[in-house]
Structures are given as structure tokens and as C-alpha cells.
Structure 1
Amino acid sequence: MSRITTDVAVIGGGVIGLAIALRLRADGREVVVIEPNEPGSGASYGNAGTIADYAVIPVGTPSVLRNAVSLLFDANSPLSIRASALPTLFPWLARFARESLPRRYRQNACRIAELVSGASGAWTEFAAEIGASDLLSAKGCLYLYETQKAFKAAGADIALRRSFGVAQDLLSAGEVLRLEPRLPPFEGGGLFFPGAINLSDPGEVMHRLSTAVRRAGVEFIRAFAQGIARQSKGIRIAAAPFEIGARTAIIAAGAQSRRLAAQIGDPVRLDTERGYHVEFDMAELPIERPVCPTAHGFYLCPMRGRLRVAGLVELGGLTARANPRRIENLAANARRIFPDLGEPSRTWLGFRPSMPDSVPVIRPSRGGRDVILAFGHGHIGLTLAPRTAQMVSALLAA
């Protein structure tokens, strides 16, 4: 087994791990990244490509709790569960139910709001640092409410965002169609988030980020981290055929992080959201900014040379195959908006690390600052990458 020693070992080469590695290298630290796949090729690539400074609402809400049975066990709902995964998911679901109670929900929203505040500005600076400014589009994001009843029902969420200072504009259906004239007519209204930023190609952004990390002098170790343990002289990470010794380890391994955190005495109630997307290649895009038809829980995302349709969360672990029904639902929902889309050019399934309260874990391990936890970002991993890197840097400097 090859032995490697370093100051800091970052376990995980998604957007969180890469952003942390780049920041710590700028701090003057020796850094290696341990990642078995192409860096940034998982959920960091397959997301909706939106820097969502407005995303303060947790997945678990009182409304979701009231409708849990119909939501979780309806394969067509925006949030569903694979029945085969229910026994192993039960502890997570029990905590999710608790976090969806009104008081906890508001507390969680407050914590998320603090994290995402300033996300767009942080990403603008970050993109310039990694040479990706040309892939950012600052045209905001639209939520669509098909009926006046649905628009009115969103009032509590709108008020909560307003209480956190989130910029949001209420639009009539006509005002929405003036922004996006190729959308079909509807009777409700819209919510426009002017501060949101869209990535025209998340995969290319991840490529430029990983290139910037390499140029900064970070070494990449192409291996799967099977184990982590404290020793008298630091942290030992087993990642066959390598053994990595580090003064400090950062666990930023996304959906794989729970296993590693448990090995150093930090059991965390983390589980996996299975996220899907379908893409339609086209020369002329039908929209200029991300659009979310809220009743169906997916995003229409304009990207370079294609329309990506992302969403429909499924709780079901890491090992089950892609659910073809979820993919079919995404394509069918997209054709409800744009009937001429035809068949998808490609499909994708990835895994989001999800906490029951939707609040990421960014803190030292219980055993000390020699291990830092940085995972569980759920739907806001892309949004929070620069902020998470800053927080980890500050933890190591303390």
C-alpha cells in the first residue's frame, strides 16, 4: 500500500470538497483531495444550476408533514419514497417529521437563511477566481403558481422569505409572460427572485473548478475512502491502494459522509435524496432563466445547447437502480409546459446528502478539530460551496 502524508486531506471531490481545497490551498496549506470519480461529476454536475440565494425554506415544512402519506407514497409526487427503503429510512423519517413541526421549521429556515445570505455575491467572486464568469447568467429565477388559489397559499412562504430580507417580486400572470413569452398562458401568478444566478453549464464549471484546484498545487488521489481513524500522530485514511496520513481531515464526501463520520465517533442522521434530471438538446432555448412550476416540484433550466429539467426527489438509498417512472414523469411534466420537446436527449440520476432539517453539517467533529465535517447540503450544495469553504477555513484558523 502506497503511503502519502499531507497537512490536510479533503475526502470528497464534489463542489464542496473542491471549493474547500482551493480555499485551504490559498491559506498556504498542503492539501490532497481523495475522490474515486471524476471531480465534480456527481450531484455537483447534475443539479438545477441555480445559485439560490432565496432557498431558505427547508424540505420539511408543516404542509409537507400534513400531507406526508400522500406525498411520500405517491410515485408521481415531487417528494416520494421507495417502499423497499422504508425500514432503513425510518429513523431519518422520524427526525424529518419532528423537524417539520412549525417551531422547528421556522428555526431551520432561520439557520438556512443565514447561510445563503450573500450567496450570489460570493459565487460571482468565486467564478472569477476559477475562470468561469462567462458561465454565469444573472437573470434571476421564476416560481410559477398556476392558479390564484395556489398563489394565495404561497403567502406564508413569501412572508417568511421577506422576514429574512430575501429579494422577491410578486408578478401577475401577464408580467410573468412578458418576462418569458414562450411559457403557456396561465391564471395564477409568479414570484421572481432577482438575485438568483444560473450556471449555463454546471459540468464545465466543475471542470474549470477542478482545473483551478490542480493549478493551485492540490494533489488528487483517485481512490475510494474506505476508512478513517485517529492515531497518535494525526489522521489515517484508508483508500486502497493508498494510505493517507494527515494532520487534518475534511469529510466532504456527500452521500458517503455518514459512514465516515460514524467511524470517528460522530453519528449523523444523514441520508440520501435520489435526484433526477432529463435534458433536451436544442439550438434555441424556450426560456432565459430557471423556471419552477411549483405545483410539480421541478425546474426548467436553460443551459448551453440544452434545456435541463431537474427535480422530483426520491428517498431510496444509494444502491437501487434509477426509477424509470421518475424519469418519465420529469419528461411528461416538461412537455406539459412545452409540448414540442419530444424525447429526452439524455437522463441522469445522482445522490444528494440530505439532513432531516435541511441544514448542512459544517463543524468540527466531536473528537476535535483534527476532523472537520462539511456535508449534508441537500439542494443548496452548489449555492453554499464558497460559503462552506470560508467556514472551514475559519474553523482551521481558530
Structure 2
Amino acid sequence: MLRHVTTDIAIIGGGVIGLAIAERLTAEGREVVLIDPNPAGATVSQNAASYGNAGTIADYAVLPVGTPDVLRNLPSLLFDRNSPLAIRRAALPALMPWLLRFALQSLPAAAERNARNIARLMADACPDWLDLGARLGGGDILKKRGCLYVYETAKGFRAAGRDMDFRRSLGVSVDLIDPATLRQMEPALPEVEGGAAFFPKAVFLNDPGRMVGLLAAEVASRAERLQARAESLERQGDGVLVTGPGLRLKARHVVIAAGAHSRKLAAMAGDRVPLDTERGYHVEWDMAHPPVTRPTCPTTRGFYLCPMDGRLRVAGTVELGGLTAPPSPHRIAKLVEGAREIFPDLPAPDREWMGFRPSMPDSLPVIGPGRAGPDVIHAYGHGHLGLSMAPVTARIVADLLAGRDPSMDLAPYLPGRF
């Protein structure tokens, strides 16, 4: 049944970014309609990044995916099936424009600039999440235990020093710890020759799905939610018309927060955005007491060991392959194999998952108005950092829609930057 709706602000997308924006706007008394194709009660779709992430509020994750080291190794990384960064060969022709931009953004000057711009957004990620969690009644989900990068070899640990110095220059708190200290912190991990980098200020969500559920419930109490797929945007004299199957909505302002599905909507709003999709994976084992007490990344393996509530989640790796191809059994198998190399007694996993990360070649999200005017605000493309950046993005979008100064130069994040 076609519904004719009018509103002040329409938010397209009900993942963690769209929900955080809706929560912020409705707290300020704004009229909001949230549009999402998933049924009411489903906080996020099963293939959305909000559902299967590592749960880390990663204030330390200030480096872009594209760096000079990655660029030097790009051919082997992309075509090695066992690489933490891989590509589906069938998707290569469609991905070539994105990959060319990615290569340019991996050059030294661009990579350093991108890191500084990521760090500006990440500076308040942890305190903003602690505030949001408290408002939602989910403070018990947020754990202030930091995060570990583990280096299995002494050579890897020595090489990490320069990396960590650069992160410190961007405001990241990090301590380099020896194997004995690592053993004290996480006694179930196997002994290593190297050591670890400990990020003490990082927090994590031990049940991201429950936190997003609390966020969705809070938004549902304040805003209307339409189960529909927005397929078209059209600017009109008195607002923006949003249409799709069973949907016809007129809004003074539209926020595009549809994650990996945002590129076509952005084009309709007048902005050609080089957004593509990283396919992330996780596997989970149900257990009362996970063998680690904080998110832990064995750096050479490209995944996180995540102590969720009642389960161990092993999440990570990057696969470039678009939105339509089925999950790769090989990627799942490599996660299981890597986890068992660390914890040999793990049985068959209880579940597995693949979802879509909306990713830009420079690893910077798209936040702000487009070229055609401020009636459409973009808020997507956060890559690995969507969970971390959700409340920060919400604050920026709320400032823009209220006519306030966001206290940050948004030029590096605007949709027209390419």
C-alpha cells in the first residue's frame, strides 16, 4: 500500500549510523522518519556491517587501509587467496576505477593526510560512545579494557615502533609491552617472541547487536519508521521526494545513511561517489568464558579475537567483491584455521557470517552536504570504523541540520572531494 508521508527529516538507512543520527536529532526535538527495508524489530540486516562487527570502538585505528606498504604489496595481497586483503577475480573489471583511486590514496603524502583526517574523527569516539551507552541504558555493554595488537616475532615488534610513534603523534595512547606483560594480561594466548601494542583508552562492546537494539528501541519511541526501500530521490521546490515500492515521502531534508547501498542514492542527489564494498567475515563459538578478555589482533593474521557476551567472535579480513556474490567458504575456513592455530581446542564454530562494509578509496567516510545543496546530507562510507564513528557522525549531521558550526573542517569528508 502506497503511503504519502511528509516530514522534516528523512533518514535512509537503519544501521548504526542512521540510528545514531536519528537518536541525536530526535533528542533535539526534530521530526524524523527513518526508512529501512528490514522488518520492525530487526535492528540490522544479517548482511549489514552493524550486525557482525568486532565490537571495537577503535580510537587507535587511525591508519587508512591504503598505505605505502600496502601499495608495494598490492598485487600479491589482492591475488593471494590467503591474504588478509583479497579480491574476487570476477569483480576485478568493475573494481578497477576504485582500485586505481585506492592506489593513488596509498602514496605517502596521501596516506599521511588520510590518517590525520581519520584521527580527527576518532578523537572523541570513545567518550561519545560512553555517553551514548549511558543514555541508552547500555553502559554494561561497554567495556573499558583496551585493545591489543600482538606481534608474534621480535622483528615484527621492533618494526611496530615507528608505526606506534606515528599514532602517538595523532593523539593515540599506546604502550608497547613485552611478552611477559602480555602473558599476564592474556594468559590463554600462546607465548610470542615479540610482544604487543596495548591501547589502554579503547573500549569495546561485548554485545554490539544488543547495543544497536537498544538504540533502535530508543529511536522507535521518538520517530516514525517506515519499512520500505528508498530507490529514488528527486529534488523539488519545497523539499526532496523519496520514492520506492510502497513509498512516497516528502522531506525538507534527507540524510543518506544506507551504508554500502548509498552510491546510487548519492548519484540521484547529484554526487558521483566512488563507494564500493568490502566483504567482512566472522565466525563464532558459544562459550561462557572466552579465552581473551579484550579485543586482540594477531597482526599478521588480519583478524580480531573478540570476547563477546557468551561467545568468542573471530572477525576480520577484507575481501573486495561487491554486493551480489555469495560468501566465500574459503574465507570462513581461513578464519577457523587461524583461530585454531591460536586456540587448538576450538570445535566446529557455532555460526558464521558475511557482511558489507561501505568503503572509500581514501578510507574516509562521506559526511556533509553534496554539491547541489544542503537539503541532502551524506553519512556513509565509514569502512571498518562505522561502529566507532557512529555518534561522532551523528553529532556532525545534527550540527549541519541545525545550522551550527560542526567545529571541524568537513572538506576532507565531503562527497565532492573526488
Alignment TM-score > 0.5, same fold: yes
For residue 302 of structure 1, what is the amino acid of its counterpart? P
What residue is the counterpart of 1:221 in the other structure? 226
What residue is the counterpart of 2:236 in the other structure? 231
Deviation per CA, 1:238-279: give whole Å up to 9, x if none. Answer: 121010110000000000011100111100011000000000
Report if aligned partners of 1:57, 1:157 keep a CA contact under 8 Å in 2.
Answer: no
Query: C-alpha separation between the residues in 1 aligned to 2:30 and 2:130?
Result: 24
Please tell me whether residue 340 in structure 1 is matched to residue 345 in structure 2: yes
What residue is the counterpart of 1:174 in the other structure? 180
For residue 362 of structure 1, what is the amino acid of its counterpart? I
What residue is the counterpart of 1:75 in the other structure? 81
Deviation per CA, 1:123-151: give whole Å up to 9, x if none. Answer: 00000111111111110000000101111
Question: What's the offset of the Cα at 1:214?
Answer: 1.0
Query: C-alpha separation between the residues in 2 aligned to 1:219 and 1:2?
Result: 13
Task: Please point out which of 187, 197, 202 is paired with 1:191.
Answer: 197
C-alpha RMSD of matched pairs (Å): 0.8
Task: Please point out which of 382, 385, 398 is paired with 1:380.
Answer: 385
> What stretches of structure 2 of length at least 5 have no aligned partner?
404-418
What residue is the counterpart of 1:331 in the other structure? 336
Please tell me whether residue 274 in structure 1 is matched to residue 279 in structure 2: yes
SS at match of 2:115: helix
Question: What's the offset of the Cα at 1:23?
Answer: 0.7
SS at match of 1:93: helix
What residue is the counterpart of 1:26 in the other structure? 27
Query: C-alpha separation between the residues in 2 aligned to 1:160 and 1:45?
Result: 31
Report if aligned partners of 2:16, 2:386 keep a CA contact under 8 Å in 1.
Answer: yes
Query: C-alpha separation between the residues in 2 aligned to 1:363 and 1:165?
Result: 24
Report if aligned partners of 1:40, 1:210 keep a CA contact under 8 Å in 2.
Answer: no
Task: Please point out which of 24, 39, 44 is paired with 2:43.
Answer: 39
Query: C-alpha separation between the residues in 2 aligned to 1:343 and 1:305?
Result: 16
Q: How many residues align?
A: 397
Query: C-alpha separation between the residues in 2 aligned to 1:57 and 1:74?
Result: 23
SS at match of 2:262: helix
What residue is the counterpart of 1:94 in the other structure? 100
Task: Please point out which of 41, 56, 59 is paired with 2:62.
Answer: 56
Deviation per CA, 1:310-345: give whole Å up to 9, x if none. Answer: 001100000000000000000110111100111110
Query: C-alpha separation between the residues in 2 aligned to 1:325 and 1:128?
Result: 40
What residue is the counterpart of 1:300 in the other structure? 305
Normalising by structure 1, we get a TM-score of 0.99
Task: Please point out which of 265, 284, 291 is paired with 1:286.
Answer: 291
SS at match of 2:312: strand
> What stretches of structure 1 of length at least 5 have no aligned partner?
none
Query: What percentage of residue pairs aligned between the two structures are identical?
Result: 58
Query: C-alpha separation between the residues in 2 aligned to 1:62 and 1:155?
Result: 17
Normalising by structure 2, we get a TM-score of 0.94
Please tell me whether residue 312 in structure 1 is matched to residue 317 in structure 2: yes
Question: What's the offset of the Cα at 1:118?
Answer: 2.0
Greater CA deviation, 314-323 or 19-28?
Answer: 19-28
What residue is the counterpart of 2:414 in the other structure? none
